[in-house]
Structure 1
């Protein structure tokens, strides 16, 4: 994912609400969210090149989602795919803290990333570039291609709109509108992450759209206090039009 906004234990009806966009090169093959045949407990999209995923859930209430850390100087050819980390977190049974601490022990092998993990009871994050492992208190959090809650214009806009959209759930349209926001940042607000000014501009909206790279899918996850779970996902083509839409509903198993 390249943008994740989530609410943890702040909504009267939902334990967790997640709105996220996955940005990726358009030529990289992927499948929409589905129950995996080789790991039937996992509900996630799938990177068909490396076999991992960017975000997913399990029937037992586990959740994991990853964003890359934007730093061209950190590129390492041959480094393992970060999507396998999400898969492994979803396949495990350890609690959030233990999962994140184990992750921190191996994260130096990978190009920079951030990874949310929840065992269904607690939520935490590991930032590979800082080494931080943090348990998160109830609140609204935003993550893009830097560390948690970095004050980028796209995250400020997304978190503000997300807070308002929470009030309209279970209606998904306000959440989808914020994920489809193509408003660019002004030049003086752009971060400096090591890419060209042209690319900083192109990557500054919540919804990214270029011919070769952009927002490939948008996802909305709600997990109720009663265990009722809904995972909606929209896949977009290069013109920003809906290519496919899937929705999965299930009740968490204890």
Structure 2
């Protein structure tokens, strides 16, 4: 993913409520969210180039990642970060123990932020500039291509959009479409991440549209104590809806 906002309230009936957008080059092959035949009960999209995913659920477990934008600082021959999502979802280890093991090899992966939920605790970790992990307190969060809650304009707006959705919605629906700002932000509000200014402007939008790169899917998720509701919308160029997947299953 490239933009995630979520409400984490472990003592509430709806523990985790999340909206996310994934941005990618259109030429990169992708399979829409489905149950993976090789891992029954695992629901995720699939990157057909490297074989991993960006967001998925398996029973009471959840994982999602974003890349960290830091040109020139990726490790040589970096491992695909998309495998972190599927490795966590197919593990039976508590998140704290799984992350402890990940610490030994985290520097070998492409730069990442990672969210992991094991049914009890929600954890956040990153591997740049060093490996860091923390269990999250209840709250409303936003994550883009910098560290958690970095005040990028689209992330700040995403948190406000989810807060408004939580106030205005009965939550029988999912927040899949709320990250829908297509306009770039003014230059004076943009971060300087080391990419050319025209890309900095393009990437500042919540919903990205260009000839070669854009928002490929939007995801909405609600995890309750005994069930999961999940939706993914796949997008083509021009914000055209190509496919929609919806799942509702007990955990």
TM-score between the two structures when normalised by the length of structure 1: 0.94
- Coordinate RMSD, CA, aligned: 1.5
Match of residue 170 from structure 1: 171
Matched, 1:245 2:244: yes
Gaps of at least 5 residues in structure 1 are none
Matched, 1:233 2:224: no
- Please give the secondary structure, in 1, of the residue aligned with 2:199: helix
Counterpart CA distance in 2 for 1:128 and 1:111 is 9
Query: How far apart are 1:77 and its partner, in Å?
Result: 5.7
- Please give the secondary structure, in 2, of the residue aligned with 1:220: strand
TM-score between the two structures when normalised by the length of structure 2: 0.95
Query: How far apart are 1:12 and its partner, in Å?
Result: 4.2
TM-aligned CA distance change 1:171 to 1:205, over 3 Å: farther
Residue-by-residue CA offset, 1:102-128 (whole Å, 9 max, x unaligned)? 222211101210100010110001111
Counterpart CA distance in 2 for 1:197 and 1:171 is 41
Counterpart CA distance in 1 for 2:75 and 2:133 is 23
How many residue pairs get matched? 249
Q: Please give the residue correspondences for 1:137-148 in structure 2 after superposition, counting only pairs within 5 Å.
A: 137-148=137-148
Gaps of at least 5 residues in structure 2 are none
Counterpart CA distance in 2 for 1:124 and 1:78 is 27
Matched, 1:101 2:104: no
Q: Please give the residue correspondences for 1:170-209 in structure 2 after superposition, counting only pairs within 5 Å.
A: 170-172=171-173, 175-209=175-209
Residue-by-residue CA offset, 1:116-156 (whole Å, 9 max, x unaligned)? 00101100011110321101011111110010000000011
Query: How far apart are 1:169 and its partner, in Å?
Result: 4.0
Question: Which has the larger displacement, 148-157 or 175-184?
Answer: 175-184
Query: How far apart are 1:193 and its partner, in Å?
Result: 0.3
Contact persistence 2:176–2:231 (CA under 8 A): no
Counterpart CA distance in 1 for 2:11 and 2:209 is 32
Counterpart CA distance in 1 for 2:200 and 2:11 is 34
Question: Which has the larger displacement, 95-104 or 237-246?
Answer: 95-104
Q: Please give the residue correspondences for 1:99-138 in structure 2 after superposition, counting only pairs within 5 Å.
A: 99-129=98-128, 130-138=130-138
Counterpart CA distance in 1 for 2:228 and 2:79 is 31
